[in-house]
Amino acid sequence: PRRRSASHSFARERRRASFPMKFNLFLSACGAASYYFREQISHSTWITAGCFFLVGANVLVNEFFLGGSRKYYGKTHDCTGDVVLITGGNKGIGFETAKELAKFGAQIIIACRSERRASTAVRSIRSYSKNDNVSYEILDLESLKSVHDLVDRLTKKKIQIRYLINNAGVAIEKSTTIDGFNSQFQINHLSHFLLTNLLLKRNMITDNGRIISLSSLAHGVGGADIHLDDLNSTRSWKRLKMYGNTKLMNIVFTNELSRKLLRIGSKITANSVHPGAIDTDFSEHVVPNPWIRWLTRPIAILLTDPPVLGAQSTLFAALSPDLETKSGVYIDNCKVKRPVGKAQNIPKHYKLMEDFWEVSAKFVGQSNVI
């Protein structure tokens, strides 16, 4: 099928993404002016304007001192014949990633739990990309059996995957899966660990394949850590800390996978990605109260980027020629960067990575893993 140029849609999204920046310039100016005329206006108006100023200043500091807004990968590729398997490709960052790769001609398989949402996403991706080679598979990441079933179906179809994108992730309240694990732990790490290993064991990833796991900047904040004797957080529980822990696990898993692939002489690469602060339904997990979420929605829009921008670093990790031989790296804003916090020293902690791998393998009942 004919693939349209990315330039028009990229330009449109760039204008959309630049709106918060321009609007916050306006807010900052209003806030500064209100402070100057604070004696002539009411106290409540001054407080409101002050809040506007703080919101605007936050974005301006990010723009000029912390690297700025998210970048577009912005390059076109011919992915005809390449197969993409992406978890959680029915919405958010995963959906935007699938759209762009489909536009480049790749065969897209989105794996998610809801058949209704999956079929809707497939129709949208086909319409956007003019590529009919888009399908879905049912995958419930809260079930290890569902992971096995997915790989069995793909095996029967003789699928060979060029890009495995471990995209799905949650930050939900404490709950337990049917396998007895904490839901965040199983969805964000354990099921993806099993999926990746099963595909590798069955030689279902091409020799030049790329494995991409979505992490987050949360891996280095809020005391995120890995406790090998309590990966499942049975002793203590804090929702956002657990999320940070699992995002740190994504990096540790990716680094150890990279080492193991290198050790056996494989050219398959494994890298982790931070998508950025993106406007997705993640806020439903962080702020479960719908009224508070509604009240804070305007600020959330101002401080985040649209999902298409969150997909850019994943596209960079999948398609950039510069990463053809680079493995075990952390990617942020379409650049290879050092992770933050305790993850900075992870590549040196071979024993931790090996032990973490062994514990994960034990949890999923896989002794003979790569």
Structure tokens at 129: 């990309």
Query: Are residues 328 and 211 in contact, defined by beta-carbon separation less than 8 angstroms?
Result: no
Which residue in this structure is represented by tokens 């489909």? 102
* ∠ CA 164-285-116, rounded to 5°: 60
Q: Which is the catalytic residue, given 163, 243, 330, 350?
A: 243
Look up 243 and say whether it is catalytic: yes
Give the DSSP per-residue string, 175-199. Answer: -B-TTSSBHHHIIIIIHHHHHHHHH
Distance, CA of 107 to CA of 131 (rounded, Å)? 8
Query: Are residues 89 and 169 in contact, defined by beta-carbon separation less than 8 angstroms?
Result: no
Distance, CA of 194 to CA of 67 (rounded, Å)? 35
Residue 341 backbone zone (phi > 0: left; psi -120 to 50: alpha; other: beta) = left
**H or E, element range at 36:** helix 7-36
Query: Are residues 60 and 141 in contact, defined by beta-carbon separation less than 8 angstroms?
Result: no
Distance, CA of 323 to CA of 316 (rounded, Å)? 8
Torsion of CA 61, 65, 69, 71, to 10 degrees: 180
Query: Are residues 168 and 141 in contact, defined by beta-carbon separation less than 8 angstroms?
Result: yes
**Which positions are catalytic?**
243
